[in-house]
A and B are shown apart, each in its own frame.
Chain A
Amino acid sequence: MPLFILRRGLQALNVLFVMSLLVFAGVYAIGNPLDLLVDPNATQEDMARAAASLGLDQPLWVQYGRFLARALQGDLGDSFLHGAPALGLIVERLPATLELAVVAMLVAVLLGIPLGLWAGLRPDSLPGKTIMAGSILGFSLPTFWVGLMLIMVFAVQLGWLPAGGRGPTTDVLGVSTSLLTMEGWRHLLLPAANLALFKLSLIIRLTRSGTREALLQDYVKFARAKGLSNVRVVGVHVLKNILIPIVTVVGLEFGSLIAFSVVTESIFAWPGMGKLLLDSITQLDRPVVVAYLLLVVTLYVVINLTVDLLYAALDPRVRLAGARQ
């Protein structure tokens, strides 16, 4: 096990290193940042001085080394627009995005597993078929389009819920959250439903196929032969066995929820880091873009690593396969 952790850890570091190279190459080598930073009417000497003060006159690998050294200390440069450290700007908005992603994932799991069980236990019934048809739709519909429809129906036509914004937030231990007020929940509901839809469809499908497979297994037949009640067979024996793949997917998909929150945040004007990214891209605020990308990729790598390790801890076959390679 320690060897496995070490190897996966090294792989994760490798990915981060490659990403930092790519992002550096893309942002600092393509196009000249001086054009953005220095007055276009500046003289040749002014340009040279600016380049020297920013370290842009050095060879690329020296620049990359400096970039890396600063990045490791958490300094990813200052935002051109806000004048504040880019990383700080993003971290400031991290709670809003995490809150949205966590609630969306909870919605997906808490609705998806029961619906998937239902569809798996009665695949030919009308509700079972309706659930599956719904999950196919959930896969086909683009997230942004569903968001628009939610706004149109629930905010504009019915007027039940606000169309955007985060509403009032309360500070808990320095982290702002909208989960403590009714108004906050009202603001959260539509964006969370929007973000949850795709994962909900995924979990329904996973649970359904897992249930159908599990029902054919000997241990289920044996449990039934023992005379256990239906509730106990499904609730304990079936559910336990389909939970492992679901836990894995939930873990892995959490990262993609954060990536997809860019779409939802922009539609519902949710003040998270996805919206910041979009604003920064359109306003050419490169340091913020770089900081966002590196942060999200790091988050991703950490999530993947955690899921891999958890999986190895839960399922010894994974470890053995890894050791044999």
Chain B
Amino acid sequence: MSEATTLPAASPAEAEVERPLRRLVRAYAESRVALFGLALLLVIVLASLLAPWLAPQNPYDLMQLDVLDGRLPPGSASGDGRQTYLLGTDEQGRDMLSAILYGLRISVGVGVVATLLALAIGMALGLAAGYFGGRFDAILMRIADIQLSFPSILVAMILLALFGQGIDKIVIALVAAQWAYYARTTRGAALVERRKEYIEAARLLGLSTLRILFRHLLPNCLPPLIVVAALQVAAAIALEATLSFLGLGLPVTEPSLGLLIANGFQYLYSGRYWISVFPGVALLLTILAINLVADQLRDVLNPRLHGQ
């Protein structure tokens, strides 16, 4: 602790020697809650990547399910005594732990893919709008404003109502609901950056517009974008879960966490809480971990806090 308190007082020359990445890592590690969030996030990402190898059974291979094991409470042994259902089973005798690991994979996957797509689209549009300005900028921001005045769940519901269900459609709906956040953020940063001297220098060097946009302007617009993207992954996962819970999102063949929760909903009334509660806890921990990491990133990447 004493080290942390003396560091800000270090001479400017010393501070400059430290590489930016190391400074970021050190600043991030100052919050124990944020470190916990990062650890939790790593566990969740690993669990969703390795689900097929970690899960005690393949929950969607009907050969491995035993209907006689249906709706067992957490910790019960299976009928043949070969395994223990740590988190209980659903009505078809599916091990909830396995179902959650597979569901996490789908939820996190959809959230990440949708965020990356929305980021790419919003970033490109925002960069162009901020750099070129003019009519393109005015029209694009008008559209973004109008869209942002509606809640994203309404935008997503409209699209899903029109196009129907499916993993591709929910990704489209999530992208459509979120691109405007990135476009706004990028444009805001680009407007500030494009007036700086390095952009003028790049232009005078005769570099192509594309090169200036993506090699010079973009890297300097990244910090706020990273924060927005981190927060929006959590929002995308929550939105997908909500839509799937309502039966508008993923089809039953792609059981994400939201769908698992919906399946267990009816058993809640009879006290069989685990079918819906445990997938919910998994969803919650995912969203919480991402938000903790994003909050700390926001503080670390905020240039206004650096000088202090």
User: Which of B150, B234, B258 has the most chain A CB atoms closer than 10 A to its own CB?
Assistant: B150
Interface check A223, CB cutoff 8 A: no
What string of 1s and 0s marks CB contacts (under 8 Å) between A124-162 and chain B?
000000000000100111111100110110011100000
Asked if residues A152 and B277 are in contact (CB atoms below 8 Å), the reply is: yes
Interface check A216, CB cutoff 8 A: no
Asked if residues B245 and A144 are in contact (CB atoms below 8 Å), the reply is: yes
Q: Knowing A144-B245, A262-B157, A263-B246 touch, does A30 contact B162 (C-beta < 8 A)?
A: yes
Interface check B151, CB cutoff 8 A: yes
Return chain A residues, CB-CB under 8 Å to B247.
278, 282
Interface check B256, CB cutoff 8 A: no
Task: Kindly state the separation between the CA atoms of A25 and B287 in the bound complex, as whole angstroms.
Answer: 35
Interface check A266, CB cutoff 8 A: yes
Return chain A residues, CB-CB under 8 Å to B146.
15, 18
Return chain B residues, CB-CB under 8 Å to A139.
291
Q: List 28 A-B contacts (CB under 8 A).
A: A22-B158, A27-B162, A136-B291, A139-B291, A140-B284, A140-B287, A141-B284, A142-B284, A145-B284, A148-B265, A152-B273, A155-B269, A156-B268, A156-B271, A252-B149, A259-B151, A259-B153, A262-B157, A262-B246, A267-B265, A277-B161, A278-B246, A278-B248, A281-B161, A293-B158, A293-B161, A297-B150, A300-B150
Asked if residues B261 and A148 are in contact (CB atoms below 8 Å), the reply is: yes
A interface residue count range (under 10 / 10 to 19 / 20 to 34 / 35 or more): 35 or more
Q: Knowing A145-B280, A148-B280 touch, does A156 contact B269 (C-beta < 8 A)?
A: yes
- Chain B residues within 8 Å of chain A by Cβ, number: 35
Task: Kindly state the separation between the CA atoms of A250 and B305 in the bound complex, as whole angstroms.
Answer: 31
Q: Knowing A152-B268, A278-B247, A281-B248 touch, does A144 contact B151 (C-beta < 8 A)?
A: no
In residues 237-256 of chain A, which contact B (Cβ within 8 Å)? Answer: 252, 255-256
Return chain A residues, CB-CB under 8 Å to B265.
148, 267
What string of 1s and 0s marks CB contacts (under 8 Å) between A5-20 and chain B?
0000000000100100
When C-beta atoms are compared, the residue in chain B nearest to A14 turns out to be B146
Q: Is the interface of A mostly helix, strand, loop or mixed?
A: helix
In residues 133-167 of chain B, which contact A (Cβ within 8 Å)? Answer: 146, 149-151, 153-154, 157-158, 160-163
Interface check B173, CB cutoff 8 A: no
Asked if residues B246 and A142 are in contact (CB atoms below 8 Å), the reply is: no
Interface check B242, CB cutoff 8 A: yes
Return chain B residues, CB-CB under 8 Å to A262.
153, 157, 246
Asked if residues B234 and A140 are in contact (CB atoms below 8 Å), the reply is: yes
The 9 closest A-B pairs by CB, nearest first: A26-B162, A256-B151, A259-B154, A142-B238, A259-B151, A145-B280, A281-B161, A144-B245, A289-B161
Interface check B283, CB cutoff 8 A: yes
In residues 246-266 of chain B, which contact A (Cβ within 8 Å)? Answer: 246-248, 258, 261, 265
Shortest B296–chain A CB gap in Å is 13
When C-beta atoms are compared, the residue in chain A nearest to B281 turns out to be A145
Q: Knowing A26-B162, A256-B151, A289-B161 touch, does A144 contact B268 (C-beta < 8 A)?
A: no
Task: Kindly state the separation between the CA atoms of A278 and B153 in the bound complex, as whole angstroms.
Answer: 13
Asked if residues A260 and B151 are in contact (CB atoms below 8 Å), the reply is: yes
What string of 1s and 0s marks CB contacts (under 8 Å) between A199-228 and chain B?
000000000000000000000000000000
Asked if residues A304 and B149 are in contact (CB atoms below 8 Å), the reply is: yes
Interface check A163, CB cutoff 8 A: yes
Interface check A309, CB cutoff 8 A: no
Return chain A residues, CB-CB under 8 Å to B153.
259-260, 262-263
Shortest A198–chain B CB gap in Å is 10
In residues 102-143 of chain A, which contact B (Cβ within 8 Å)? Answer: 136, 139-143
Interface check A296, CB cutoff 8 A: yes
Task: Kindly state the separation between the CA atoms of A7 and B150 in the bound complex, as whole angstroms.
Answer: 20
Interface check B241, CB cutoff 8 A: yes
